[in-house]
Amino acid sequence: MTPMSGYLLLSALLFSIGLAGALTRRNAILVLIGIELMLNAANLNFIAFWRYGPHPEALTGIMFAIFSISVAAAEAAVGLSIILAVYRHSKTTDLDQMNSMKG
């Protein structure tokens, strides 16, 4: 087992944990955290491929990870404010009880 496959396996496990959380938890905030974990798993893959890839001097893996972190931060901010706005309407963050799009 090469060092890189260790990182890739860890990233696959992290992705599965995030996916399981996003699918099974019923709280909207935890579903958002699960999506963040999946994005983090992808970032770990980028860094691992940069480290063990053939052309590390091009810095593409690092750049992609940096941009992905910024997009994930924007996504978290907008997602959490949407959850707050929905909570103000329906007084719940339980996804099973959010069954109406009417305000």
Q: Does 54 bind other proteins (CB under 8 A)?
A: yes
Residue 18 buriedness (CB in 10 A; 0-12 / 13-18 / 19+)? buried
Cβ 102 to other proteins shortest distance, Å: 15
Least separation, in Å, of the C-beta of 49 and other proteins? Answer: 10
By the rule CB under 8 A, 37 interacts with other proteins: yes
Please report whether residue 90 would count as binding other proteins according to CB under 8 A: no
* Nearest distance, CB of residue 4 and other proteins, angstroms: 6
Which value, to the nearest 10 degrees, does the dihedral of the CA atoms of residues 18, 5, 45, 10 take?
Answer: 20
Binding of other proteins at residue 35 (CB under 8 A)? Answer: no
Of the chain, the end-to-end C-alpha distance in Å amounts to 55
